[in-house]
Amino acid sequence: MKLTVSNIAKAYEGRVILKDCSYSFDRNGTYVLMGPNGCGKSTLLRICALLEQADGGTVTYGENGAVLQPDMALRRRITLVLPRIGVFNTTVSRNVAYSLRVRGIAHAEIESRVNKTLAFVGLDQKKTQQARTLSSGETQRLGIARALVLDPEVLFLDEPTASIDEENTRIIESIINDMRKQNRSKVIMTTHDHAQAERIADRMLVLEHGILKG
């Protein structure tokens, strides 16, 4: 599924955040959007994920030459993971299973997908643990698991390693690299860490003065 942003513009209370941002995310792999805090990276991600409206420009998803409508069917094919994860007051396993249950997926399939996903993010030994007792880094991995269990075609990660320890940062980077090797999703993530971008990016983009440079 191809994602194209064209001439995206956004301002808050007269302050220009984005202007004339254009890029085509046409291949699978990991795209890393870099820039200092406050430069508009998160805003651009929310606009791409169809969670926020741009003041100008267009976000287009396409498949086999056709433009997809920004409806619920499309929204279920893309997922955004935020820097701070809210969790349900239940077990790790039930947190990951929740979105599958509300979609009416059969119990056996839910159990299989949850177990595979928790193993993929390294939380399989904690599936019966209360989610609110996880460390901040483990909670971030739980958020990624909740996204991955849905098998998204485009996964947006907003500063996925912000304010977490070195070990969990290493694990999350490994998860992202494993996704690329398995060709699981198109990953579009933000970071202000150039060294991290060098480690995991197939393509690095820079957001500077509201303009996206690739």
The architecture that CATH gives domain 2-213 is 3-Layer(aba) Sandwich (3.40)
- pLDDT at position 65, please? 87
Q: How far is CA 129 from the centre of its chain?
A: 24
Terminal Cα-to-Cα distance of the chain (whole angstroms)? 20
Rounded Cα distance between 102 and 105, Å, is 8
* Structure-block tokens of residue 193: 């860490």
Q: Specify the pLDDT at position 7.
A: 96
Low-confidence stretches of the chain (pLDDT beneath 50): none
Q: At what angle do helices 136-148 and 92-102 cross, to 10 degrees?
A: 30
Please tell me the predicted confidence (pLDDT) of residue 163. 87
Report pTM.
Answer: 0.94
What's residue 121's pLDDT? 97
